Structure 1
Amino acid sequence: MTTDRVDRSSFSSVKESHGGIAQSFTDSKTSSYLRNEVSNTDNEDAILDDFVSTTGSRTPELEFERQPELGSGMLTNPQSNLFAFTPCDGFRGWKDIPLMAQTIKNVKSKSYSDLARLHRGFQWEISDRDRMDLDVVTEEKGALQTGKSRLESLPTELLGAIIDQLATDIPPNGFSARNIDLMSLLLTSHTMHSVTLATLYNQVTIPHSRIFAKFLSHVSSHPALGTIVRRLDFSHFNPTCAGMTARERSETMNLIPETLLRCLSLTPNLREFLAQEHIDNDLSSEVLKTLLCDLPRLKALDLCACSSANFRDAFTNVLSTPDLLPAALPITRLSLHECTILPSSTFDILLPRLPHLTHLDVAHTRITSTALQSIPPTARLTHLNLSKCSFLNGAAVVDFLSTHPAAQHLVYLNLAMDPKSHEMLPATLLTALLPRLPSTLRSLNLNGSKMDSTHIPLLLPLSKHIEELGLGRHLSLPDIQALFVPDERLPLPQQLSWTPHSLRYIDVSDLSSAELDLGSLFGPRCPVLKSVAEPLEVIEVGADVLKRLERSKPVLDRVGWCVKEAGRRAWLVRKRDRVTDDGGRGWKWGACYWGMRKVPVARAEVGGMYGHYMFKR
């Protein structure tokens, strides 16, 4: 069993690199599948010689030609950490099997039984005259019968939970074999086979179109496998497909609207469908109609950054006849993050049909205030992302957050705006909003809003339960300090009764280098970077501040902080000798680091294009 999940990457992916300082990410700007110099034959075998689900565990990076240690036996797969096998004394290798010349061209199967039928016997089989006297093995008293081991006797739910530890949400690099350990478990026993199948097919990740074709072939041949599938994940989908041109990919017809529609028809129990911009042209009207109307168990739908004209036309075509849609859709978690091309009418029709909505990400879309208010009162929103929604009215947003029954249990709220294009929350509206935010809140982003020192007392009660806080414009360093330590001018009893903050991350990227005053920030009297400000460990800064910090590495080392970057974003991160808290929280749904800007709708490790939109933009 392998548990190391470090250094996996996929096309255009950003993933968290665990085991070190917070906000450390690995990035793959080009296809990792093209970085592996392997022959065409190796490529084909690597793709086709295993099951399709890429939920297998990561295996250590061993040299493929490494010789096994003396006495350890031959490895069924050199990249696996499972037990090796030991061949019998007469074994000469598979290549020495003498098959009849007239049939060798037609041999396609490599199974033992098929090969045995083609020949009277194998060269390693021992005749009676050559048979050795073997020691008689006496069954020990109390020995367990075959298939009755203690592991196999565990309840199916518990055994499945153990095998699930071999699964990972992020596919391997290149064309390296997938699911090595899980594939080995399939051959262990009938019990292990049935439980492992559930793990293999429960959550299916599709990194490129050949894997999709292989998966579709399996579930078409064995429809029962399709009923196991609960998640189809295209967030790691690689559009380059091993160096094929766009014309070649279209001619293969592996992933096209027709095959995707067929796949959905074979997975009737699907609960999570995760897509992204690289497959938006394959989301036809029929596919979208199936997702919205024909999958009664679908709970999560993520269409992150799908913004092609074909996608827009397909979506509007499905919604053009609202009477054909169910009055209530089963979807509880919906992400249309960066679906900039969808018209406002899309949200007017869709949102009233989501009575059990808990997660809604409509960042940088054309959602209107009317559509927002149309969310049914029976919904119970915990995650809401309204960042960069320029069609929203600030007063209507404040009214929704203050009075709408669906918004009274928020845990994650992103109201960030680009003030150059739209200012949703001026100072007066912000003053009205802050006292009305719920105590359940753990992440609040107010980037782009107009703030001043009068808002700090309103933020103080929130800082006692919020862990992530994005601040607006026009604040100063003394204003920020007031969030972490009591004002020295307060009476002593009030200072002693001060309730410590819970902030681990603050975003001050709206503040210029002059407003942040780096000279004072690194000075001896400022508490923000000192241990007194803990548990604060991450401070996000803007581009102009980053330029100055890059020239201040000795100063950063002296105060025990460092700079981390990813795409357009940069952070000051506190150095720690040992990690006592990896940042994982239930409300992050798989992420561990701070400041995510995309709402996850499925519990999974951060990676693929979703990681890009969470932490790089």
Structure 2
Amino acid sequence: MDPTTPSEKSLRSSFSSVREADSDLAQNFTSTKISSYSKLGEEVEEAVDDLPSPPEMATQTQFIPPVTQPNSRLHGCWFPAVAAEGFQGWKQIGVKGRQASKSYGDLQALKIVWSPAPLIKKDPERPPPGQSAIEKLPAEILDQVIDHLVLDVPPNGVSARNVDLMSLLLTSKMLHSATLNALYKNITIPHSRIFRKFLSHIAQNKGLGTIVRRLDFSHFNPTTLFATASERATTRNLTPETLMQCLELTPFLREFLAQEYIEDEIDANVLRKLFFGLERLQGIDFCGCSSTLFKNSFQSVLLSDWPEALLISRLSLHKCITLPSSVFETLLPRLGDLTHLDLAGTRVTNEALLSIPHSAKITHLNLAKCKLLTADVIIDFLAHHPAVQNLVVLSLGADARSHQLLNEEDLSKLIPVLPHSLRSLSLKGSKMAASHIDLLRPLTKHLEELALGRRLKITDIDRLFVPDESNDGNIGQELEWIPHSLKYLDLSDYTATELDLITMFGRNTSIMKKYSSPLEVIEVTDDLYSRLAKSPVVKQLGWTVMENGSRAWLVRVHNAEDGPRDSGLRSWKMGASFWGMHKIPIACAEVGGMYGSYMFKRKL
């Protein structure tokens, strides 16, 4: 008998949330079928009084009649009885069986003897209100200090967020203002009730809306509160109209992060507001939005009068697979300030790619699985276009089972023109040859992530980590050898039958040895996970196996003598700490929710 209720099943099947976990091991994720926020709408914690319990006190009282009317019960006073030695306050006295007194001042008199409360001497060194050292800090520094207390993502579904910030709101006027800025600067919306509450706040106090810089729907789960679409439609918490109202009330918005679960709420009016009506908007992410309504809304916006230039610098249409090519041919020529562009899995064309303005300074570019692009245009674009001369992240990955972008000849032309600024490169799905190792070697001196294509042998790949042995006894090449900088190597193009594990774990190969450091993570195909997890050789060589969704990794285990593990945090990862992300981040934020799933759980 399956104990899972139908409602639980619907929750688990409707949402997949991934977060990086704090651990001594890389690639260690917490993955759940529902968002970490989901329980917020279902469970309400009872209020907990953290004050110390009052001591047991005598409740015997004595009535003292007035002198002038000794028989009156209407006049006079109640006092603690003389025998009530433990009396500490009127609030503990029972009146008709109930503690009815409203007084909260503890009396110190015993046996009806009163004494004044001791005076508290004021510390002469204590600054007057508003003049403490922290309140005198510049606003920019105070914002940075308070930002360390902000939790964008709660540790679990029932923990209250930002409790410390609630206390700061009551401290002083200066800290109140700075704390409000921290609370409202980046808004994370886990479900529609939170959105309605947020919208109500900024509608009642429009000043709060001017603080908002980011609207983040990456954790949004529509089934947290309502199991069916009809229930959600009835409540009308998050609709195109309320979303539009929210955008009207947040005029200084800089980042709008959406995903497939709110795609039908992004209508033509919302799109016009995002592209034309928010002058300070810099980052837009429509990750996974591919519904018919979303596509039709985008197509209707194309009929509008577009300005010659858009101020958007970071754009993600990751896996927006239904958008027509006309969307990219309209958008890309207007993005002169572009720095981050994720078009993975889209219908972007050669013409649209080449139309990117020369003034753009692209550092992050994802063209994975863009089947309408051709190798010759991409090579020419990377070799000569001024916008991509300082690339840091580049993905040209493809699924070789359905499409091949780069063959051997294409790679021989491409690899030499790649900039030395690169830190992450994906050539997954390409057709490689042993000769490409010599071309890749210079790149490994500054690359930290490298995804290789097919057709290589383990002995070929091993040459990335050690110098070639000289047959004539000349050791000059070995002495001039510059160690590699790779932290992550993707070998997931090789199936369980193609990857030569005997050679890979053998004595004559350096990949799995300690001196292949700083190599820390090797991605393998997911069908190897169970086989490697049972292998004692993996543990003997100082590695372990991790998996998440449809991805699996060999991860180096750090011992005490090895020192602390590299956290993996890099500025170019924009908040992510683990290796091999398939999606380019648009905002500097902790990875989680659906974005975490697209980055680290799903295949290319």
TM-score (norm 2): 0.86
Paired residue for 1:188? Answer: 171
Equivalent residue, structure 2, for 1:165: 148
**Structure 2 residue corresponding to 1:419, chosen from 388, 392, 400:** 400
- The equivalent residue for 2:600 is 615
- How far 1:581 moved relative to its partner? 1.3
- Aligned pairs for 1:270-309 (under 5 A) are 270-309=253-292
Taking structure 1 as reference, are residues 133 and 307 closer, same or farther at Cα in structure 2, changes over 3 Å only?
Answer: same
> Hey, what does 2:81 align to over in structure 1?
none
In 2 relative to 1, CA 245–92 (structure 1 residues): closer, same or farther, beyond 3 Å? Answer: farther
Whether the aligned pair in 1 keeps the contact of 2:285 and 2:315 (CA below 8 Å) is yes
Q: What letter matches 1:227 in structure 2?
A: T
Q: CA deviation at 1:245?
A: 2.6
Please state if 1:593 is matched with 2:578: yes
1:363 is matched with 344
Per the alignment, in what secondary structure is the counterpart of residue 233 of structure 2? helix
> Is residue 35–residue 220 contact of structure 2 (8 Å, CA) maintained in 1?
no
* Residue 257 in structure 1 maps to residue 240 in structure 2: yes
Counterpart of 1:571 in structure 2 is 553
What residue in structure 2 maps to residue 543 of structure 1? 526
**Quick one: distance in 2 between partners of 1:431 and 1:290?**
45
Q: Which has the higher contact order (CA 8 A, sep 6+)?
A: 1
Task: Give the match for residue 123 of structure 1.
Answer: 103
Q: Does 1:557 align with 2:539?
A: yes
| CA offset digits 1:81-129 (Å, max 9, x no partner) | xxxxxxx955679xx9x9x9xxxxxxxxxxxxxxxxxxxx943368999
- Residues 338-396 of structure 1 deviation map (CA, whole Å, 9 limit, x = unaligned): 00010011000000010010000000000011100000000010000000111111111
**Matched AA of 2:439:** L
Instruction: Identify which of 22, 34, 57 aligns with 1:18.
Output: 22
SS at match of 1:573: strand
Q: Give, in whole Å, the separation in 1 of the partners of 2:210 and 2:527.
A: 53
Go from structure 1 to structure 2 and tell me whether the alpha carbon gap of 1:33 and 1:164 turns closer, same or farther (over 3 Å shift).
closer
| Contact 1:541 1:570 (8 Å CA) reproduced | yes
* Counterpart Cα distance in 1 of 2:107 and 2:495: 85
CA contact (8 A) 1:34 1:243 kept: no
Alpha-carbon distance, 1:145 to partner: 1.2
- Equivalence for 2:427: 446
Q: Secondary structure at the match of 1:204?
A: strand
Cα deviation digits, residues 122-155 of structure 1 (max 9, x gap): 4336899998511122223332112322222222
| Residues 1:583 and 2:564 are matched in the alignment | no
- 1:11 and 1:32 in contact (8 A); partners too: no
Question: 1:255-302 CA deviation, whole Å, 9 max, x = no partner?
Answer: 000000000000000000000000000001000000000001000000
Check 1:488–1:153 CA distance in 2 against 1; reply closer, same or farther (3 A cut).
Answer: same
Letter in 1 for 2:380: D
Q: How does 1:466-505 map to 2 (within 5 A)?
A: 466-489=447-470, 491-505=474-488
Offset at residue 550 of structure 1 (A) = 3.0
> Partners in 2 of 1:67 and 1:199 — Cα distance?
26
Please give the per-residue CA displacement for 1:169-188, whole angstroms capped at 9, x wherever unaligned: 32453354332111111011
1:420 to partner: Cα distance: 1.8
* Aligned equivalent of 1:457: 438
Contact 1:156 1:195 in 2 (8 A): yes
Alignment of 1:47-196 (within 5 A): 122-124=102-104, 133-171=116-154, 173-196=156-179
2:409 corresponds to which residue?
A: 428
Report the counterpart of residue 318 of structure 1 in structure 2: 301
Distance 1:22 1:128 in 2: 60
Secondary structure at the counterpart of residue 546 of structure 2: strand
Higher mean C-alpha deviation, range 511-520 or range 484-493: 511-520
SS state of the match for residue 281, structure 1?
helix
AA matched with 2:121: T
Which range moved further: 417-426 or 431-440?
Answer: 417-426
Letter in 1 for 2:270: V
Structure 2 residue matching 1:546: 3-state secondary structure: helix
- Paired with 2:91 and 2:294, the residues of 1 have a C-alpha distance of 57
Q: 1:36 Cα deviation (Å)?
A: 7.4
Whole-Å separation in 1 of the counterparts to 2:89 and 2:139: 38
Counterpart amino acid of residue 133 in structure 1: P
1:395-424, Cα deviation, whole Å (9 max, x unpaired): 111111111111111000000001122111
Q: C-alpha distance in 2, partners of 1:418/1:91?
A: 74
The letter for the 1-side match of 2:454 is: R
The partner residue of 1:405 within 386, 390, 406 is 386
Q: Percent identity?
A: 51
Structure 1: which 5+ runs fail to align?
1-8, 47-63, 73-87, 101-120
The alpha carbon displacement at 1:168 in A equals 2.4
Distance 1:423 1:305, change over 3 A: same
Give the conservation status (yes or no) of the 8 Å contact 1:241–1:249.
no
Distance 1:182 1:37 in 2: 22
Separation of aligned partners in 1, 2:572 and 2:183: 26
Q: Tell me whether 1:335 sits opposite 2:302 in the alignment.
A: no
Secondary structure at 1:456's aligned position in 2?
helix
* d(CA) in 2 for partners of 1:66, 1:214: 26
Change (3 A) 1:568 1:244: closer
Does 2:187 correspond to 1:204? Answer: yes
Of stretches 275-284 and 488-497 in structure 1, the one that deviates more from structure 2 is: 488-497
Residue 12 of structure 1, CA deviation: 1.9
Alpha carbons 2:240, 2:270 under 8 Å: kept: yes
Alignment correspondent of 1:511: 494
1:556 and 1:389 mapped to 2: Cα distance? 36
Q: Distance in 2 between matches of 1:126 and 1:483?
A: 77
State how far apart, in whole Å, the 1-side matches of 2:152 and 2:405 are: 37
Structure 2 vs 1, CA of residues 67 and 199 (structure 1 numbering), >3 Å: closer, same or farther?
closer
> Is the CA contact (8 Å cut-off) linking 1:11 and 1:237 kept in structure 2?
no
What is the distance in 1 between the residues matched to 2:395 and 2:156? 33
Does the 8 Å CA contact 1:284/1:314 hold for their aligned counterparts?
A: yes
Q: Is residue 171–residue 207 contact of structure 1 (8 Å, CA) maintained in 2?
A: no
Deviations 1:541-573 (A, max 9, x none): 113433431331x11111110001011110000
Higher-Rg member (1/2): 2
Q: Higher mean Cα deviation, 569-578 or 376-385?
A: 569-578
- Aligned to 1:289, the other structure's residue is in SS state helix
Q: What is the DSSP-based 3-state SS (H/G/I as helix, E as strand, rest coil) of the residue aligned with 1:22?
A: coil
Contact 1:32 1:173 in 2 (8 A): yes
User: How many residue pairs align between the two structures?
Assistant: 547
- 1:283 and 1:238 mapped to 2: Cα distance? 16
**Alpha-carbon distance in structure 1 between the residues aligned to 2:564 and 2:582:** 24
Q: Deviations over 1:409-440 (max 9, x none)?
A: 10000000011221111110110000000000
Runs of 4+ off more than 4 Å: 31-39, 64-72, 88-93, 125-132
Seen in structure 2, the aligned counterparts of structure 1 residues 405 and 132 have a Cα distance that, compared at 3 Å, is farther
> Could you tell me how far apart the structure 2 residues matched to 1:401 and 1:575 are?
37
